[in-house]
């Protein structure tokens, strides 16, 4: 599975979504209505949060009769955990790029000022 890191970050950046995920981890498969009963926000808000978590690959919905039950996707969690841990490491590469660019631009200016 290919994890979209931005989608994953977006999914867990929000405290309410972390609460939803927490409940799913604790309860297993649950309907949005049951989740809303335990949370200080509406069923609509729960549904919206579930959609974002779904997009990030963290949860999935299974239709059972008239209702949809949501649960975490254990097969994706390991990948997700690793992707989250990678976020920190990603800054190393970005900082490296910033360093190279700033130094190249300072160097270019130095050369312009003192033509050899």
Partner 1 sequence: MIEAPIDDVWRVLTEPEHIQRWFARECELDSQKGRLTFESGRTFYLHIVAFEPPHRFAYRWLHEQGTEARPDNSMLVEFSLRPEGGSTLLRVVESGFEHVDWSDGAKSEYFDDHSRGWHTLIDRLREYAKR
Question: Mapped to the 3 state alphabet, what secondary structure does 58-105 carry?
Answer: CEEEEEECCEEEEEECHHHHHHHHHHHHHHHHHHHHHHHHHHHHHHHH
Selected from 94, 113, 114, 116, the binder of partner 1 by CB under 8 A is: 94
Site membership for partner 1, residue 51 (CB under 8 A): no
The span from the CA of 72 to the CA of 75, in Å, is 9
Return the H-helix or E-strand segment holding 56: none
Candidates 88, 112, 113, 114; binder of partner 1 (CB under 8 A) is 88
Instruction: Rule CB under 8 A: say whether 23 interacts with partner 1.
Output: no
Count Cβ atoms below 10 Å from residue 79 Cβ, excluding itself: 15
Residue 65 beta carbon to partner 1: minimum distance, rounded to whole angstroms: 27
Report the interface residues with partner 1, using CB under 8 A: 4, 6-7, 9-10, 12-16, 18, 21-22, 25, 72, 74, 77-78, 80-81, 84-85, 87-89, 91-92, 94-95, 97-99, 101-103, 105-107, 109
């Amino acid at each position: 599975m290919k994890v979209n890191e931005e989608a994953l970050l977006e999914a867990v950046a929000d405290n309410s979504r972390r609460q939803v995920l927490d409940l799913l981890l604790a309860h297993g498969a649950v309907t949005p209505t049951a989740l809303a009963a335990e949370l200080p926000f509406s069923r609509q808000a729960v549904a919206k949060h579930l959609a974002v978590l779904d997009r990030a690959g963290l949860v999935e919905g299974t239709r059972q009769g008239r209702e949809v039950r949501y649960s975490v996707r254990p097969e994706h969690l390991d990948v997700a955990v690793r992707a989250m841990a990678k976020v920190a490491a990603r800054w190393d590469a970005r900082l490296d790029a910033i360093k190279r660019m700033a130094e190249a631009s300072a160097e270019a200016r130095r050369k312009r000022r003192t033509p050899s």
